[in-house]
Structure 1
Amino acid sequence: MHPLSGLEITELELFKVPPRWLFLKLKTKSGISGWGEPVVEGRAETVAAAIREIRPHLIGHPANKIEDFWQMIYRGGFYRGGPVLMSALSGIDQALWDIKGKALGVPVYELLGGAVRDKMKIYGWIHGDTPEALAEAAKKRVAAGFTAVKMTVTDQLEWIDAPYQVNAAAERLAAVRNAIGDQYPIGVDLHGRVHKGMAKMIAQALEPFHPYFLEELVLSENNDSLSALHNFTAIPIATGERMYSRWDFKKILQDGTVDILQPDLSHAGGISEVKRIATMAEAYDVAIAPHCPLGPISLAAALQIDFSCINALIQETSLGVHYNEDIDLTDYLVDPEVFGLKDGYVPLLTAPGLGIEIDEDKVREAARTGHDWKNPIWRNPDGSVTEW
């Protein structure tokens, strides 16, 4: 029997599991199953509804015909793109690649041309309410084996805020830099909280402490302002977690206003589309650092891209991140050591498909509890809504 026979999709199941994730399981006629992670944080039910709408196109479709399915769902809808539709497609795409890799007995990166590296550098999030707490958190991450960290340096911001906010941002970064020295990269995530009028002040204040990159210095809908910012600061500019296809990334690559793209494997069209985005970025001498504050399936998918793309710089992970609380991403794996962090790297995944084995019993048990995670709503002192 040909290894790709019997791969027609027969079953689809969704599992909403803590802390804020949505897992998808696809089963084929031959019995091979694949997993994906389609979710918009805070909109899990919305994405689940989109997948149920796609279901008639999925059942009976050969899982190995990944590109055909991607194009059918993307181009077959008159309205396309955006976080919900692309996240639904992303999770399905991950599961299809998982099935095809398992059917052929190889990791997904082998189907993308093979590995270009033996291990992938990752960073760990740090969190703290004071510069001292951030410094301590950074030292703990380094002690745990991370060789790079990422942090936010701002809270609520007005469109143009007082100097103390700029100074506070610099003090937070300075405390971490002083705590761990200059051998460890420190990514700075501005989370889109900074508006154009303050962006240069923030960048200038942070520059003496040599951040690895400035992530979402402005919201992606304001990417037109990146030209002036890119020419103003020596710090690499990163963005992309709220961009959903190669067409969203096209203009900033053409404009030369970004140094690192951060597509999310659960939002930007899955493995199929992020591979294309990475290839586009390489042609413009731009790195990628896939965004991944999600669960184990999304991380495994991101690593398949990292292992196959020469311009992959570093990988985000939610391992031990503060908002996971009672559940961490390895809790849903049969082998919680599969990602094997060592000296700041994840070694090459070698198992077929996405390279991980989901603990299905644990997933089904957790889905009974589910979640209703929503991001906080932040307001300024005058009561106006501001970016979280």
Structure 2
Amino acid sequence: MKITDLRCAVIGRHPIVRIVTDEGVYGLGEVEFTKTYLKPFVLHFREALIGEDPTDVERCMLKIRQRGSFKPYGAAVSAIEHALWDIAGKAANVPVYKLLGGKVRDQVRVYNGSIRRKRTGDKPEDYAADVKWMAEQPQNFFMVKQGISFHSNMKDNVEDFHYGVRQTRSGYHGAMDQGQISERGFNHMLDCVIAMKEVLGDKVSLALDCGPGWFLPDAIRFANTVEKYNLMWLEDMLTGDYVPWVNPQAYRELTLSTTTPIHTGEQIYLRHNFKELIETQAVRIIGPDPADIGGIAELKWVAEHAYMHSIMMAPHGTANGLLGLGALINVCATLPANFIAFEYPSASDPWWEDIVIGLPKQIVKNSMVDLLEAPGLGLDIDPVGAKKYLLEEDAGFFEP
């Protein structure tokens, strides 16, 4: 089997990768809907991959892996890797998890970080109402994640929230504010945590997406202050999101200062950039994204290394779409016992549920997702239904 074409079309706001072969087998991969601009980055790899055997996934990856980078640019490589595994599974007539060593669980746990409504404001009562709504959704999620501080409008809407540099109208997703947090800002965050925990109790767990943007002294003080609320984790306080570095030494000092679990990793590309974070016990939980780290095999390697160091695993995935859900399900079915749950992804538009083939009507039941038993990553796109969402330049995307 040989690759004859590598294509990329933006459907809705998701760049979708399609790898075509001389045997009629094709594979699909999906990029987050926040990264519509990555189409040319995907197509950059076309000439390198044409003629290669897509079932030799690692050999193909050796040709392109070095051209990726931290979020967002690792996404192009990652989505191609997903499409290669999709082909490999279809060629072997097995789900991809069988090719990754086989499943260790029949269902995969997910948490709610993406099914949300627009919050009515940034006051404690607004946060309480928001997590109550998230917890009451029919999926019965065991945990919800809420953005606070620099990962929310709080940084702009709470007067004198911090004393640092402010980004206004940056024009792109992921611009970072950073600065020392004021006493008013600190107390406001704490009031919001108290309000959310009063609503959720111990029936639904709470994690906080915090940044990045914090400096270490504020992060230590806040992590210590919220210890009594038994949060699942504090995410991306120091680095994360679109920050192209890790800073494991600072994370280690934060982690050793508190019993509140510290989490990071969604923006990190490749296992090599997790090495110090894991081997120095710099965090308690890592959250790589299979659509940013370099693919599902890369994520599994990192999960196994973290397992040997007693570090927990909770993969990121908030905007990865429904094909991205297939990638998450397959890899997380194979992860060791340090796996907690992955972040259930949403798509850019509600009509995606009408054009993706292979998902049950109710995907999440009691915070669990069944494995996909179809070959490959288990999902496909209906070309007839998707045709009306294609741009004119992508009219041939679904051709053999």
CA shift digits 1:154-186 (9 cap, x unpaired): 232441121121122122222221112113221
Give 2:17's aligned residue. Answer: 24
Give 1:266's aligned residue. Answer: 291
Shift of 1:88: 1.6
Equivalent residue in structure 1 for 2:314, among 257, 270, 289: 289
CA change 1:13–1:212 in 2 (3 A) is same
Distance, in Å, in 1 between the alignment partners of 2:342 and 2:72 is 23
Matched-pair contact (CA < 8 Å) for 1:153–1:170: no
Shift of 1:64: 0.3
Q: Which blocks of at least 5 consecutive residues in structure 1 are unaligned?
A: 1-6, 371-388
CA change 1:48–1:153 in 2 (3 A) is same
Is the deviation greater in 183-192 or in 135-144? Answer: 135-144
Give 2:206's aligned residue. Answer: 186
The answer on 1:55 being equivalent to 2:46 is yes
Give 1:313's aligned residue. Answer: 340
Distance, in Å, in 2 between the alignment partners of 1:191 and 1:338 is 34
CA shift digits 1:294-348 (9 cap, x unpaired): 211222112211100112211102348xxx5x43763541355367211111112
The answer on 1:279 being equivalent to 2:304 is yes
Shift of 1:218: 0.9
Shift of 1:360: 2.9
Give the partner amino acid of 1:151: Q
Give the partner amino acid of 1:367: L
Give the partner amino acid of 1:68: R
Distance, in Å, in 2 between the alignment partners of 1:314 and 1:350 is 20
The answer on 1:236 being equivalent to 2:261 is yes
The answer on 1:82 being equivalent to 2:108 is no
CA shift digits 1:348-371 (9 cap, x unpaired): 22121112222333444223399x
Give 1:376's aligned residue. Answer: none
Give 2:147's aligned residue. Answer: 152
Distance, in Å, in 2 between the alignment partners of 1:349 and 1:186 is 28
TM-score by length of 1: 0.84
Give 2:185's aligned residue. Answer: 165
Matched-pair contact (CA < 8 Å) for 2:78–2:293: yes
Is the deviation greater in 308-317 or in 119-128? Answer: 119-128
Is the deviation greater in 155-164 or in 60-69? Answer: 155-164
Give 1:4's aligned residue. Answer: none
CA shift digits 1:166-212 (9 cap, x unpaired): 12212222222111211322111113132223112221332222110
Distance, in Å, in 2 between the alignment partners of 1:21 and 1:299 is 13
CA change 1:84–1:149 in 2 (3 A) is closer
Q: Which blocks of at least 5 consecutive residues in structure 2 are unaligned?
A: 156-161, 165-178, 394-400
Distance, in Å, in 1 between the alignment partners of 2:332 and 2:41 is 28
Q: How many residues align?
A: 354
The answer on 1:349 being equivalent to 2:372 is yes
Give the partner amino acid of 1:121: R
CA change 1:174–1:364 in 2 (3 A) is farther
Matched-pair contact (CA < 8 Å) for 2:314–2:341: yes
Distance, in Å, in 2 between the alignment partners of 1:12 and 1:265 is 20
Matched-pair contact (CA < 8 Å) for 2:358–2:378: no
SS at match of 1:83: coil
CA change 1:167–1:360 in 2 (3 A) is farther
SS at match of 2:390: helix
Matched-pair contact (CA < 8 Å) for 2:8–2:43: no
The answer on 1:203 being equivalent to 2:223 is yes
Matched-pair contact (CA < 8 Å) for 1:240–1:263: yes
Distance, in Å, in 1 between the alignment partners of 2:329 and 2:220 is 33
Matched-pair contact (CA < 8 Å) for 2:7–2:43: no
Distance, in Å, in 1 between the alignment partners of 2:387 and 2:53 is 26
The answer on 1:102 being equivalent to 2:102 is no
Give the partner amino acid of 1:240: G
SS at match of 1:100: helix
SS at match of 1:312: coil
Q: Percent identity?
A: 28
Give the partner amino acid of 2:280: D
TM-score by length of 2: 0.82
Give 1:3's aligned residue. Answer: none
CA shift digits 1:223-269 (9 cap, x unpaired): 32112111111011111011101111001111111111111111111
CA change 1:329–1:254 in 2 (3 A) is farther
Distance, in Å, in 2 between the alignment partners of 1:369 and 1:201 is 54
